[in-house]
């Protein structure tokens, strides 16, 4: 077995968050002849930072610097411009102008917001009138469920059993099984969020979870997927015409991948928050939703030293489906991934989603708005394409010299996407098509 190089997580996260040091040497200067209106921090920039940046960039949060005040922001003005123009920040890496653009919890800045920040920096980053500053807002405290702001506190919380992660070493896996309390009858899930602890978020690479079902004899059997978490993921939201089932009196089996980050973490626990639809939730039509892993290539692959690789995967369905979300997954050499569909009835291949600058520090589930989520007829195909870079050009690669194969360790590579699918029948497929057509026609 190849032994991958040890990559301290603090070095990795620094690569995720910041560009090269040369950026810091660039001075900020204003054009004396710039005819554009003056853009100020107080009136124009502070509201953008408050809305899109400060939740992470404040003391005690995960951002590498605080951006709460003008005095804190001004030294970083040029770097902020570089980061927002390149769309590295906010960290929501999903291509603009390619495929479906209507997404839930879309954290991307608008073009107007990017132009505002650019103009502010180009004009010398002026403070402006302090009276124009937006009023303070209350941010969620570290360690709380982020979806609670939208749905309230979870109906059920599932906790892994404690596990201590040493300061140094190689990849570790913790696979406990725990009882689930508070679901005495089968229920439909509204949303799910898997949350590492405050200290554990630096060492919890991923945390997958599956149900174990209790039989009539009291014995336990394997069930379906509950959820998947990887660095940076917010959560999963189930559309109101779909049901991802939370089974009664079940257990949850964990598969948690830890990676030491230079500081010992004692008795770490990962939590899953589950929001349930009411017990009497019975819409007129209801279809089952599942979260599944769809691979790009069935067998192993190897990325050569200083080389690149492209892989593809094709998956068809014998019944109509709706694609509710798309989440690329890889490690340090994955750079891009796309999702396409092929409709055999129309003979049409379409690009659904493209992530050209994938970031291993932010595994995001791109959740489509309900009325644009792709529909596929029976026989439809999803096409996944992934691109990998094991060269010096990839700033996340710890070492371009070895061959890199598939595997579960951080230094290995993976080739799949997590996709939420609602399974339809022909009547449901036609009903959704007709509803969208009527909306386009203004009916």
What are 419-435's pLDDT values in tens digits?
A: 999 999 999 999 999 99
The residues near 323 (Cβ < 8 Å, ≥ 6 apart) are 339, 341, 352, 368, 373, 374, 376, 382, 419, 420, 421
Domains of the chain: 9-132 (no CATH), 157-273 (2.60.120.230), 289-440 (2.60.120.230)
pLDDT, tens digit (0-9, with 9 covering 90-100), for 277-304:
998 887 667 889 999 889 887 568 899 9
Is residue 183 over pLDDT 80? Answer: yes
The residues near 207 (Cβ < 8 Å, ≥ 6 apart) are 160, 194, 196, 228, 229, 254, 255, 256, 257, 270
344 alpha-carbon distance from chain centroid: 30
Whether residue 90 has a cis bond before it, omega within 30° of 0: yes
247 alpha-carbon distance from chain centroid: 26
pLDDT of 160 reads 97
In the chain, % of residues over pLDDT 90: 76
439 vs 164 pLDDT, higher one:
164
**Lowest-confidence segment of 62-76, 206-220, 300-314 by average pLDDT:** 206-220
How much is the average pLDDT of 377-389? 96
98, 230, 331, 364 from 416: Cα distances, Å: 21, 13, 11, 14
Q: Tell me how far apart the alpha carbons of residues 96 and 170 are, in angstroms, rounded to a whole number.
A: 37
Q: Tell me how far apart the alpha carbons of residues 208 and 227 are, in angstroms, rounded to a whole number.
A: 6
pLDDT of 11 reads 39
pLDDT of 280 reads 84
What the block records as the tokens of 82 is: 């570089």
pLDDT of 1 reads 32
Q: Tell me how far apart the alpha carbons of residues 262 and 166 are, in angstroms, rounded to a whole number.
A: 8
pLDDT of 284 reads 67
Q: Tell me the pLDDT band of 81, cut-offs 50, 70 and 90.
A: very high
pLDDT of 30 reads 39
Q: Which of 43, 220, 56, 58 is nearest to 129 (CA)?
A: 43
With beta carbons less than 8 A apart as the criterion, state whether 358 and 337 touch. Answer: yes
Please provide the average confidence, as pLDDT, over all residues in the chain.
89
Is residue 199 over pLDDT 50? Answer: yes
């Amino acid at each position: 077995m190849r032994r991958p190089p040890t990559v301290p997580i603090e070095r990795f996260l620094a690569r995720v968050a910041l560009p090269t040091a040369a950026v810091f040497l660039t001075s900020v200067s204003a054009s004396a002849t710039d005819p554009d209106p003056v853009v100020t921090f107080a009136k124009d920039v502070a509201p953008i930072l408050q809305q899109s940046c400060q939740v992470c960039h404040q003391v005690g949060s995960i951002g590498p610097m605080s951006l709460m005040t003008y005095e804190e922001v001004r030294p970083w003005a040029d770097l902020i411009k570089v980061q927002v123009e390149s769309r590295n920040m906010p960290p929501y890496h999903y291509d603009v102008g390619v495929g479906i653009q209507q997404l839930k919890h879309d954290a991307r800045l608008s073009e107007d917001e990017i132009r505002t920040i650019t103009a502010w920096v180009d004009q010398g980053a002026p403070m402006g009138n302090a009276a124009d500053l937006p009023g303070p807002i209350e941010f969620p405290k570290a360690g709380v469920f982020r979806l609670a702001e939208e749905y309230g506190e979870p109906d059920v919380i599932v906790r892994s059993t404690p596990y201590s992660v040493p300061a140094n070493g190689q990849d570790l896996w913790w696979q406990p099984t725990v009882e689930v309390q508070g679901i005495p009858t089968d229920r439909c899930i509204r949303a799910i969020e898997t949350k590492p602890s405050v200290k554990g978020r630096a060492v919890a690479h991923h945390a997958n979870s599956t149900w174990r079902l209790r039989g009539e004899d009291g014995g336990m059997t394997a069930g379906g997927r509950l959820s998947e978490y990887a660095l940076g993921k917010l959560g999963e939201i189930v559309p109101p015409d779909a049901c991802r089932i939370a089974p009664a009196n079940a257990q949850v089996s964990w598969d948690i991948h830890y990676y030491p980050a230079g500081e010992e973490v004692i008795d770490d626990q990962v939590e899953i928050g589950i929001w349930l639809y009411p017990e009497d939730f019975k819409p007129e039509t209801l279809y089952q939703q599942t979260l599944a892993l769809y691979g790009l290539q069935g067998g192993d692959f190897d990325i050569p030293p200083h080389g690149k690789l492209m892989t593809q995967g094709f998956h068809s369905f014998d019944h109509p489906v709706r694609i509710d979300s798309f989440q690329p997954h890889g490690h340090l050499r994955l750079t891009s991934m796309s999702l396409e569909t092929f409709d055999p009835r129309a003979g049409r291949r379409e690009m659904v989603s493209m992530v050209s600058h994938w970031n291993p520090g932010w595994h995001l589930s791109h959740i489509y708005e309900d009325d644009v989520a792709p529909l596929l007829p029976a026989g439809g195909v999803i096409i996944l394409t992934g691109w990998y870079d094991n060269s010096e050009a990839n700033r996340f690669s710890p070492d371009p010299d070895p061959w890199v194969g598939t595997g579960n360790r951080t230094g290995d590579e993976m080739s799949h996407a997590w996709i939420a699918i609602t399974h339809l029948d022909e009547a449901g497929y036609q009903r959704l098509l007709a509803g969208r057509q009527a909306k386009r026609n203004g009916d």
